[in-house]
A and B are shown apart, each in its own frame.
Chain A
Amino acid sequence: EAGVAQSPRYKIIEKRQSVAFWCNPISGHATLYWYQQILGQGPKLLIQFQNNGVVDDSQLPKDRFSAERLKGVDSTLKIQPAKLEDSAVYLCASSLGQGGVTQYFGPGTRLLVL
């Protein structure tokens, strides 16, 4: 079974530039998550989708971050404009349902903002 796919794997940009990340979840998984993991920290949830609807985006910095999952399958996360403190690994995960179910993570996109 194919896992969660993410691209790109690495990205280096300058502050104030824009960047977008793509995620394709495991086939059939209705729930998709975007996490930010700063070095030395655990993953922090940015946004959770159930199909194409947003379940939780309370920790998403909405002035610069946006995400969509228009057809309820793959998703994009955008940062515009980027700040130095956005340097982190952006992890996408998916699960069959919500709540206390196993989440399967993609390999992540490592972002460096200079």
Chain B
Amino acid sequence: RKEVEQDPGPFNVPEGATVAFNCTYSNSASQSFFWYRQDCRKEPKLLMSVYSSGNEDGRFTAQLNRASQYISLLIRDSKLSDSATYLCVVDSSGNTPLVFGKGTRLSVIA
């Protein structure tokens, strides 16, 4: 089982739709979780951290399920500008390196 697994997509959704991505991780000792966004031919940028209690930032909601070892990202009211690749990132513990998933590609269509 890979350390971090994501559905590569692409997810093609119309503007205004709600879309959800899941990501599973293999290391049960993992402590920190993030979603990064990467636009085409650009560098990754932090979208949001994922907290145990779940957290929301505007149209974006992140959830963590430790028992099942997955995290999710929900995007409501999709905008054309949300089109990007969303990278699931897991930090196993303390000072170990972050592990990036392959990313899920989202295309929001007018």
Contact = CB atoms under 8 A, between A and B. Distances in A.
Nearest to A33: B97
The interface size bin for chain B is 20 to 34
B97 A100 contact: no
A42 B100 CA distance: 6
Contacts of A41: 102
B80 interface: no
A108 B43 contact: yes
Given A42-B4, A56-B96, A98-B94, 6 more contacts: A33-B97, A42-B101, A45-B98, A48-B97, A102-B49, A108-B43
16 contacts: A35-B100, A40-B8, A42-B4, A42-B101, A43-B100, A55-B95, A56-B96, A91-B43, A99-B32, A99-B91, A100-B32, A102-B34, A103-B46, A105-B44, A106-B43, A107-B42
